[in-house]
Amino acid sequence: MEKSRECTPMVVVQAAAVTQDPSSFPSADEPSPTVLEGLVLPHRFRAWSGSHFEDDSDNLWKLALEGSGAGAWDWNLVTSEQIHSHRWQQMLGYEVGEIAHANHEFVSRVHPDDLATVSTAFTNYLQGRSPSYAVDLRLRCKDGSWKWIHTRGTVVSRDAQGQALRMIGTHTDISERKAAEAALRDSEERWKLALESTGDGVWDWHIASGREYFSKRLVEMYGFTEDELANKPEELDQRTHPDDLATMQQDRQAHFDGLTPTYSNEHRVQCKDGRWKWVHTRGMVISRDADGRPLRMIGTHTDITDRKNAEALVRQHAYFDPLTGLPNRRMLRDRLEQEIKRSRRDGLQLAILFIDLDHFKEVNDTLGHDNGDLLLLEASRRLRQCVRECDTVARMGGDEFTVLLTELMPETDLEPLLHKLLQTMAQVFQLGQEQVFVSASVGVTLYPADGTEVEALYKNADQALYVAKGAGRNRFSFFTPALQEAALTRARLTNDLRHAVGLQQLQLLYQPIVALASGAVHKAEALLRWQHPERGLISPAAFIPMAETSGLIVPMGDWVFEQAALQVQAWRRSLAPHFQISINTSPVQFQHSHRPDTNWVQRMAALNLPGDSLSIEITEGVLLDSNDSVTAKLLEWRDAGLQVALDDFGTGYSSLSYLLKFDIDFIKIDQSFVRDLQPASSNFTLCKAMVAMAHALGLQVVAEGVETAQQRDLLVQAGCDYAQGYWFAKPMAAEALADWVAART
Ligand code: C2E
Ligand code: MG
Ligand code: MG
């Protein structure tokens, strides 16, 4: 047993591993106790002697092996004697006989990095955990270089307890294959590096084994370090957003099945810190088995979070109103289309409410846009409060909102909700220091009773809103077929109106304006009429709004100006040298896009008409809208001596600041104040106040709609300068007016 005591530790260790704890397999340089004391060498054991096996059958095997180019070894696990064939020795560059027949000769040549692999493979084999002992390892050659060897062996003799006593095996030089593999790996590495340099992460998936490789950049993309995910790449896989798994699976399968040349999918991955990242993954199967089943796939991850965020932002802008965060017109349309489908299926009813804030414009213009925004925000909050979660409140732009009420039973009564909505909107709005009151006008239409298409429903709601506003605001109005009829009539009339000027269907009537102190008549207001071939005389209240919405008011306004200019030129000669005609204008005529074609000032100069021969009546709407073009126009008129009258004073916002800011010559007290004028009435007080205020500002006052002597007297008492009304004269044709004036003097 001297021998076993002398034997290299490795042999002892390897033998010990057979019976003892495999984890005790020590490294080559760690001595370990001899445990084979007392073991008897089996009688059958034959050692190599030089290059020969001792019995014939062994000899045959040896020849066969040497012929194949493989080396052979024969190892006595008890004595740790190990015989290496010629080829074995030559493979490492040794002369035959240069290497002692001992296991340590083998062990000492094993690359330190491969020792653990070898011992694990060996232990697994001896303990029956793997069916064969086969392992790739590097051995040091005589010249110090390394060779890759594939060694495989088998136990050929055991003792009575089944412990291995002898193993034989082969050595095959696989350096070339390993070099080729290394070169391939190298080029793969380079590819991965190249891909990584683009900022992308790289993955490599061995489908058959399920092994996955993630590059450094890839794991870092999600806030991990390589170490954290080493050996457990599945942790990253589990971080895919559950909603995205199905499409990933589909896209991958399509590529596996050859339907797409590459695999491409966008999905979310949760980072280590819990945030989600959007990635675009692209990949390709690079090897398949004989049946075409994918074996390996490589690909990349590109971080597209920024792009996705930008897309979300664009979507947000495209579908939501930036100020209130409410769905916008586009989004509402999508929803309405969906809801129509759903209601059709479920036999339910929908209601569409067009809502317009009354007097929003005044607030915006007088208190500034910031306060206007505050008002809109608060209004949208109140609207939301009035409806259920399933309903949609959308902002269509400006002060227009739309509410879509869904899932209504056919018998649902909407009136309580509409009353509540109006009440809520009529409550005071606190805008910083300011308190304002606005109200809402609401037009309502129902699906399917009033219409089944989006366009038709919108049109209905719009008509109903038009009626609600026309009826004095702060109210709701349901769409009815009569509205539909009225809308149709409007459309037809608008069409007829286009030809009215050319067909000479328009006419100007004149209503005298009387100087109250003297009774003199040096002024008249031109009032437009439309002689419709079928419908007869149409009043301006009926067709001016149509002319405004269609833009026809601009050429019509120019026509009015031209007629009045020619008329006043004539009357200045025939009636009174300072005669003045006032003409009405619409705010639309002041809008940029509708700048009149005719320059009135130039035209008057051409006609040799002094500026004060015309007075232009404007409404507060023009001043509210005041932009640079309005201001410029008013200044141009003032410089030319034209006078400006503020019509319908007292009905609108009636802001003093306007009177001061713009150079106004007259205010015209609206008929509504004159109508109920009684000595002790509040209207009388108001009239007196308006006159006093106007005079204090250097303006003159015209009262409209004077129908009785008492009204006239009270206006005289109030200090009013001029008056017009049926009590003096109704609007009349030009010739009639000339006669009327002549008759008075
Ligand atoms: P407005 O400028 O306030 O004109 C006064 C309106 O009151 C006229 O109605 C006139 O006929 C009516 N009126 C006059 N005296 C009395 C009275 O004693 N009692 C009553 N109840 N009414 C009286 P009309 O002519 O129907 O015009 C209505 C409105 O149409 C005008 O109101 C004006 O705003 C607009 N309009 C008329 N002509 C034109 C025009 O050429 N261009 C523009 N843009 N608007 C015009
Ligand atoms: Mg007028
Ligand atoms: Mg008026």
Q: How far apart, in whole angstroms, are the C-alpha atoms of residue 575 and residue 367? A: 47
For residue 722, report the distance from its CA to the centre of ligand 1, in Å.
Answer: 16
**Whether residue 326 has its Cβ less than 6 Å from ligand 1:** no
Q: How far apart are CA 6 and CA 8, in angstroms?
A: 7
Counting runs of H as helices and runs of E as strands, what totals does the chain give?
A: 28, 26
Q: How far is the CA of 509 from the centre of ligand 1 (A)?
A: 10
* CB of 528 sitting under 6 A from ligand 1: yes
Pocket test for ligand 1, best of 509, 511, 525, 527 (most atoms within 8 A of CB): 527
Q: Supply the residue whose CA is at minimum distance from atom 2 of ligand 1.
A: 584
Q: Tell whether ligand 1 has an atom less than 6 A from the beta carbon of residue 511.
A: yes
Report the pLDDT averaged over residues 137-143. Answer: 95
Provide the 3-class DSSP secondary structure of residue 157.
strand
- pLDDT score at 654: 62
Rg (CA), the chain: 51
> Which pLDDT does position 62 carry in this prediction?
66
Our CA angle for 585, 590, 596, nearest 5°, is 85
> Cα angle vertex 434, ends 431, 437, to 5°?
80
- Element (H or E) spanning 150, and its range? strand 146-158
The neighbouring-strand residues paired with 590 are none
- 480: tokens are 């009815």
Q: Is the pLDDT of residue 31 over 90?
A: no
CA distance linking residue 143 with residue 128, whole number of Å = 37
Q: Please state the atom number of ligand 1 nearest to the C-alpha of residue 527.
A: 38
- The 10s digit of each residue's pLDDT in 671-706 is 999 998 999 998 999 999 999 999 988 999 999 999
> What CA–CA distances, in Å, run from 733 to 63, 671, 705, 740?
136, 22, 18, 10
For residue 9, is pLDDT > 50?
no
Tell me the β-bridge partners of 436.
429
CA 37 and chain centroid, separation: 82
Alpha carbon of 533 to those of 163, 489, 497, 649, 733: distances in Å?
124, 15, 11, 35, 19
- Cβ neighbours, 10 Å, residue 36: 19
Condensed to tens digits (0 to 9), the pLDDT of residues 576-605 reads 999 999 999 998 888 755 555 568 999 999
For residue 296, the cross-strand partners are 206, 287
Q: Sheet harboring 294-303: ordered strands across?
A: 211-214, 201-206, 294-303, 276-288, 263-270
Mutate to test the pocket of ligand 1, among 584, 674, 702 (most ligand atoms within 8 A of CB): 584
pTM over 0.75: no
**pLDDT score of 311:** 84
Find out whether the beta carbon of 652 lies less than 6 Å from any atom of ligand 1: no
Please give the structure tokens belonging to residue 383. Answer: 């609207």
Q: pLDDT band for 151, please (50, 70, 90 cuts).
A: very high
- pLDDT digits over 486-525, tens only? 878 888 989 999 999 888 999 999 999 999 999 999 999 9
Residue pLDDT, tens place only, 115-132:
999 999 999 999 889 888
pLDDT at 42 over 50: no
Q: Ligand 2 center to residue 646 CA distance, Å?
A: 9
Give the residue, by CA position, lying nearest to ligand 1 atom 42: 584
> Ligand 3 centroid to 337 CA: how many Å?
45
What does the pLDDT read at residue 193? Answer: 77
Q: How far apart are CA 276 and CA 274, in angstroms?
A: 7
